[in-house]
Structure 1
Amino acid sequence: MSKSGDRSSHGIGARLAAWWAWFAVPGQWSGRRTTGELALAGVLALLGAGTEDLLGGEGWVLAAVAAGSALLSLVRRRLPASVLVLTAGLAPLVPGFGPLLLVVGWSSGRYIAGAGRALAAFILAFVVNVGASLIGPWEGSRLLTIALTATLYYLGTTLAPGLAHRYWTQRRTLLHALQERNAQLLRERTMVVGQARLRERQRIAQDMHDSLGHQLALIAVHTGALEVDRELSERQRDVVGVLRNASVTAMHELREVVGILRDGIEAPHGTAAAPGGTADETGRAARGIAGIEGLVEAARTAGTSVGLRRSGEERSLAPAADHAAYRIVQEALTNAYKYAPGAPIGVDLRYEPDTFVVEVLNEKPTEKPAKDVVSGGQGLTGLAERARLVGGMCHAGPADGGGFRVAGMLPYGAAPLAEAAP
């Protein structure tokens, strides 16, 4: 008996599971929706039983109307056309189904697939509703009156809500389609702009490579030949060597900049070089705090008086901030070469508890700058933006005594990148 009972319970459970799989469309019945449908079914059951009770119904009729209203409410989404026709036929005969007819009409406008099928379902429901209204004893003179009343009732409680819901659904679907198309157009536009920007960057990179690369190569070749000229003094050979090293370094940096413009990815730079080293095994300058000493040595070799001072306990910076410190010193030294020739320069690297401070101060120039100084006018402005992007700040301006100071404050560790200015 126990095995038979288990098999019977298992069979009932399987049938219930199969019925639920048919009833609840996969992916559409969430917990919130299930709760709402059950609540609506309960409300319609109470309205149906209450309406029937007001009109004189009693006993099993009330229970049947309540159960029928709840059941038809639950399956109205799965079988919209069948429930519409059935409810339209029952409403004139059983007034308790009147509240349900309003909800079924509204729901059928959305869930009946296809305009032709929806039109056929509403026409059939209208015929059934009017026909059911004419069932029973009536006087011949009242036939048209009953038909007119049933028609108006059907139009107000069933057809009008169904058309309104169908229009609202189609409008919402159209808006969603337009929004998706607009988003797709924006994505395509972004891709087109990105491709155009990439092509322009590649063109600029090619122009830079063809023009500047050729000139820098000529400078490197001629300075290399001049360096071994026996007629030059030792001092002149040192200066020519500085020029040759600068041209070779410039070619390597130009190659990296061209790669950034072409591919949009910055090549890794040697931030882990030894403190006294000025270049890695490929000949590229160490592009970080480790390379600042090389910049100072190169300036000294060229005859400029540059002092370097370090203070505080050394700590590591984020790669972008480390590179920004190198660029601040490089641009500040270049600015001093141009506008304060012969003036002593001091480079101060301070490891403060919360930030790394780099300061370059040149004293009052003893000579006037050359008239043919080439300047783009964007170097110091670019330093401020570079420091801001790594979460720091950079200031450049006159110093006391007639000199000029460039100072930057950069964060330790991985600082969040700020958004670039438009």
Structure 2
Amino acid sequence: MTTDDLLARHRAVLPSWMPLYYDEPIELVAGQGRRVTDAQGRTYLDFFGGVLTNSIGYDIPEIRAAVERQLRTGIVHTSTLYLIRQQVELAEKVARLSGIPDARVFFTNSGTEANEAALLMATNHRRSQQILAVRNSYHGRSYATIGVTGNRGWSASPLNPLQVAWLHSGERLRGLLARLPEADRIDAAVEDLREVLATQTSGDVACLIAEPIQGVGGFVHGPDGLLAGWRKVLDEHGILLISDEVQTGWGRTGTHFWGYQAHGVTPDMITFAKGIGNGFALAGVVGRAAVVESVPAISFSTFGGNPLSAAAGNAVLDYLLDNDLQANADRVGMILHEGLRAEVGGLPGVAEVRGKGLMLGVEFVHPGTIDPDPKRAAQVFEACRAGGLLVGKGGLYGNVVRMGPPLTLTEEEAREGLAILVTAIRSGGTAPTVAA
């Protein structure tokens, strides 16, 4: 079967709103370490990891062995109506690492479900459906999480079960706060929060949900300390803080294990997903017991934290900690950040190189302006693939090339990928075709 045949079959049975990467979509059929191979036999260095999900890489012996051990028991699924040893062990680790005192953990299948569950808990705890969310955010594809997503391109429904008020993100490139000196932005964001509470809510707001670094939004983030500035105001009103760590968790930012830790504040709940499963469907919420226990009726997750995915999660977390991959993300990420800023940061059309650790974005604009240039981003995106490097796209305007390599990325691989990316950007979106 050729890729063209598979593409035709895909288009015949799957929705048109499910995008496929590349002008000529590829099927990935094998992986090893940080590299994947497509159906045509071409091998690529993967700097996107299934949207920051394959956090340890591909075909990792320790993770494969843990999954195979569980498979050999014959128990893949039991539901949470029975004790699941792997789930309990993983919950103990997540609770300990969360930094939240007396924490409880609820497992789900995806970041969407994790955020949905957190919103359920917060609105029950506060007896309010009023939510604070951040402009340019993304929190999922379900009814309520779309409602708190501040990115029009991902808002698949204009209907909303929640009453949402929107805060400025504090980003450095655009928006009202971008006009201010860096040192003044947190104070301005706090003033904005106070005004929003006074003018757009009745006061009894349930929670603020925020990403420490906005993932789909193009790795945009406000100044460190922003969450702490907001938290002081939230505490005056009893409003909960949810940190959406679906993309920033598990050491990816390098300097901290969780993104919220850069802000000097501890949230009431953390939502997590992606990297903890390294490709297996695993996500959840960890939060203060008083908040998590606010659900007033029986509830559970049929597949969340099942024996197989929890076995994978335990192996992933153990591997991550045993090999100090957070430090690796910091060290190897520095090669990429410094290299990109030195090689392309001053080029016309490159507005910003940003992110932390192994979470990087390059934003493209029309030279001499901050007007988004999604065409240039798409050209660089395609050129990277042609050069043997897989990256992602994102941003409110689709003009950001995003990178989230596995946390096991080596220094040599970082320099290899950097060279391909720099060539793609400097060449204006053309690059030599990778050898089969």
State the TM-score, normalizing by the size of structure 2. Answer: 0.19
**Bigger radius of gyration, 1 or 2?**
1
Instruction: Point out which structure has higher relative CO (alpha carbons under 8 A, 6+ apart).
Output: 2
